[in-house]
Amino acid sequence: MRVEPSQLVPGCVLLNEVKGKSNKALIPQKTILNEEHILFLQKFLIHSVDVSSKLVDGEEFIPKEVHEEETEQELSQENNESNLLFKDHYHQAVSTYKVLFNKWENGFPIDMPYIRRVIIPLFERMDDISNAVYTLHHYANKKDYFYYHGVAVGLLSAYLGKKMGFSKGEWLQIGLAGFLSDSGMAKIPPAIVTKSSSLTYQEIDEVKNHPTYSYRLVESIPTITQTVKLAVLQHHERMDGSGYPLGLTKEKIHIYARIIAVCDMYHAMTTERIYKEKQSPFKVIEEIQKEQFSKLDPQVVKAFIDSLANFSIGTKVRLSNGQLAEIVFIDARKPTRPMVRMGDKGEIISLQDNLNLFIDEIMGSQ
């Protein structure tokens, strides 16, 4: 079983060797742990270890309860996070994701207790996420796009789950599934993951294996629900059967996976990558609308658009031609194409009648 060092007792039998950040073995496999070992693990900030369900004397191992009272270090970290600007908290989570991803590349298992401690406080900043859905793409850079994407898909999936009326326990699970959905990319050759030119057909086929690899990383973790595991496996399935890895259709795809699919597409298309330019969030929303009756779940797409296109009359925007404008009327059926008053001449135009023009950025409210 996998436990935190604070839950260990003398006599626990280590099932797997413990490695440090340099990948050097700290404690060998099958070591019978004593107080010194346990203290050592805590000092080296090892988050969890695999031990036998039986102690060395044959007695059943009953893990110590994790104290609700936080350690000074955890309390300090939590206080620091609560004082962080959302943007800085997001960057911090991305840095953590990058470290975790490197560990997964080196064969380390997924450490769920640690991931929950890191990512749940960020998911819970719902008001901040709501304000940042149009600007998450600004925070990323081309070089580290992949790590930003992993965190952003988790954030957006949790956000959309909440907007769709799921309970907190459920939308947190949806967010965790989104966060873990690309963990299997750690099993793809790095040369493919970081390639700056177009992938070959063979390389594309290898990338399409990543949902299966992600599933294998999570399938044996007892603290992850079966619904999360299904969502991780199915997040690239499409309603018309054109997705992968199984080519599932409609109701065979879990609702969590359908939510992640929309969020994954939105962030990928709005963010600049090494081999692809970013697109306006509003242009992307229109592209997603086109997919809602074929590849994507219409119910999820509608909830996504309703939750994103929630700007109000008087909102200042920059259009795709570089001009500033102000929203004066919103058609609920086409919220991404409102009527706007042009900033220079005061002329009112309908974006529904000017399809070559679209909102590029939200600038603020009146």
pLDDT for the residue numbered 161: 96
Q: Where are the domains of the chain?
A: 2-50, 85-308, 316-364
Query: How does DSSP classify residue 249?
Result: B
pLDDT for the residue numbered 72: 43
Query: How does DSSP classify residue 184?
Result: G
**The CATH number of the domain covering residues in 2-50:** 3.90.105
pLDDT for the residue numbered 271: 80
**3 state SS of 360:** strand
| Sign of the torsion formed by the C-alpha atoms of 271, 171, 159 and 257 | positive
Query: Going residue by residue through the chain (366 aa), what tens digit of pLDDT does each one get?
Result: 889 888 999 999 999 988 766 566 778 889 999 887 887 787 667 788 999 999 999 999 988 876 544 444 444 445 455 578 888 999 999 999 998 998 898 888 999 999 999 999 999 998 888 878 777 777 777 788 889 999 999 999 999 999 999 999 999 999 999 999 999 999 999 888 888 788 899 999 999 999 999 999 999 998 899 999 999 999 999 999 999 999 999 999 999 999 999 999 998 888 876 556 667 777 888 888 887 778 999 999 989 888 766 666 788 888 888 889 988 888 877 878 889 998 777 889 999 899 888 888 777 654
pLDDT for the residue numbered 184: 95
Q: Which of 78, 75, 167, 89 has the alpha carbon at shortest distance from 125? A: 89
Query: What is 3-65 written as a DSSP string?
Result: E-GGG--TT-BBSS-EE-TTS-EEE-TT-B--HHHHHHHHHTT---EEB-SB-TTSPBP-PPP
pLDDT for the residue numbered 68: 42
**3 state SS of 211:** helix
The CATH fold of domain 85-308: Hypothetical protein af1432 (1.10.3210)
Query: How does DSSP classify residue 57?
Result: T
pLDDT for the residue numbered 70: 42
Roughly what angle, to the nearest 10 degrees, separates helices 72-83 and 112-123? 30
pLDDT for the residue numbered 364: 61
Q: Which of 291, 285, 221, 232 has the alpha carbon at shortest distance from 257? A: 232
| Dihedrals phi, psi of 208, to nearest 5 degrees | -65, -10
Give the separation between CA 306 and CA 196, rounded to whole angstroms: 35
